[in-house]
Amino acid sequence: MSTLVHVSTYTHSVTFVTDKMLTSLKRIIIWIGLDPWKLTADWEALERGIRKWLETRYLLSVVLEVYRPSSAVLIGRWDFEIEYSFQIEADGTMWTDTDAIKFAIRKCGIDPAECEYRVVAITREGRPDVEGWWRTTLRSTDGFVRYSIGTTIGASPLGSRAAYWRRI
């Protein structure tokens, strides 16, 4: 008699990437000097949306916007772009590169005084609605330059490239 075991590596990858992306956002928020309370208070809704849209392949990127609430002007931004055909070693290795993010924070030049933040998901058209998420538009990046950090999360076949925006 033989036994067959099937493990959905895609489901494991979705869970890993969702968790590491949210954890990376939390680290960025803390490392630039903002209070993570808002992120942790919204964690369930954020996790539900990111996971659902990764599972259904509608998620294109997750964006962290840092802005001044008095003027709604963008101060800085972090992008996590999804790679649905990310390939790493076939041994099932999953990893995250927080050192690359930490190094980039030193260069991003954000003054967190009196700043707020929000997390925005960029999805393809036709995505399923998820409780706790609503439609919005991103703040203008006029006067900013985008700097790529590279791949910071890997869980074959999913990965995420990170980038930050800095005022010129």
pLDDT digits (tens, 9 = 90+) for 21-68: 999 999 999 999 999 999 999 999 999 999 999 999 999 999 999 999
Does 110 fall in a domain? yes
Task: Round the average pLDDT of the chain to a whole number and report it.
Answer: 92
* Mean pLDDT, rounded, for 123-144: 96
Does 83 fall in a domain? yes
Question: Hey, CA dihedral for 63, 66, 69, 70, is it positive or negative?
Answer: negative
CB 145, CB 163: distance < 8 Å:
no
Does 154 fall in a domain? yes
Does 2 fall in a domain? no
The total domain count for the chain is 1
Helix (H) or strand (E) holding 43: helix 43-55
Whether the predicted pLDDT of 70 surpasses 70: yes
CB 63, CB 119: distance < 8 Å:
yes
What are 93-106's pLDDT values in tens digits? 899 999 999 999 98
Q: What is the CATH number of the domain that holds 142?
A: 3.30.900.10
Does 82 fall in a domain? yes
Helices 9-31, 98-108: crossing angle, 10 deg rounding = 30
Whether the predicted pLDDT of 5 surpasses 50: no
* Mean pLDDT, rounded, for 126-155: 96
| Domain span including residue 26 | 9-167
Residue 4 is predicted with a pLDDT of: 45
Residue 91 is predicted with a pLDDT of: 61
Residue 108 is predicted with a pLDDT of: 86
Does 102 fall in a domain? yes
- CA 156 to CA 87: how far, in whole Å? 5
Does 144 fall in a domain? yes
* Exposure on the CB side of residue 60, measured as CA atoms within 13 A: 7
**What's the pTM?**
0.91
Does 155 fall in a domain? yes
Residue 99 is predicted with a pLDDT of: 94
